[in-house]
Amino acid sequence: MGGKKDTASDFRLIAATNRNIDGMVKDGTFREDVLFRLQTLAIQVPALRDRSGDIRDIASFYLARLSGKYGPGQKGYSPEFLEAITQYRWPGNVRELIHAIESALSSSYDDPTLFPIHLPTYIRSRLARASVGGDRRTSHEHDKDGATGGPLPQLKAFIESAEKDYFERLIAITGGDIQEICRISGITRSNVYARFKKYNLSKTPS
């Protein structure tokens, strides 16, 4: 632009964004002429959370690519690891998934298999909270079940059943890491072990 001679060029420009460019043009925060130059072929890519079927392939690709960088040879992942990364919502999309795999490889050291315990702490915490709260239903739904599905259990039995389920899920999400279980549940190590003994639970995920 502004030159006196035509200069030939042969290149392909690929641009990506998570912003609403059309809206930014209307707001005057993005130049319309630049958009016209970029908009020869536009591809709308859904968020990773809306195409969870791709997570396994993406994770396998980057795990193979990064294994040599962070560990001695190719590593694999457990079914629990795949379940964890499939259930997570990935607000940071593919970039966040790649960083999570890098972090898992780095923290797994010589372990040839990745487990949920190797994922970043913030991901495991969110999965634990979502898992514990995932089965909560409205009071209307509970009332309906009580009316049509038989008598409700005694409160003590209900609380104990829910508490056992809570700790089973914590063990699965954290891989049995006691320190992480204490942090997420908010109770002391001695109280955690007391629950394990009460409900005959093991630190090893089943």
Evaluate whether 113 touches 71 at the Cβ level (below 8 Å).
Answer: no
Evaluate whether 121 touches 179 at the Cβ level (below 8 Å).
Answer: no
Claim: this prediction has a pTM higher than 0.75: no
What's the CA gap between 87 and 131, in Å, rounded? Answer: 9
The label of the residue with tokens 């109770």 reads 187
The model's pLDDT over 124-178, given as tens digits with 9 standing for 90+, comes to 888 887 776 554 443 344 444 444 445 666 777 777 777 888 888 788 777 888 8
- Ramachandran sector of residue 191 (left: φ over 0; alpha: ψ -120 to 50; beta: rest): alpha
Least confident range of 70-74, 96-100, 109-113: 70-74
What's the CA gap between 198 and 142, in Å, rounded? Answer: 27
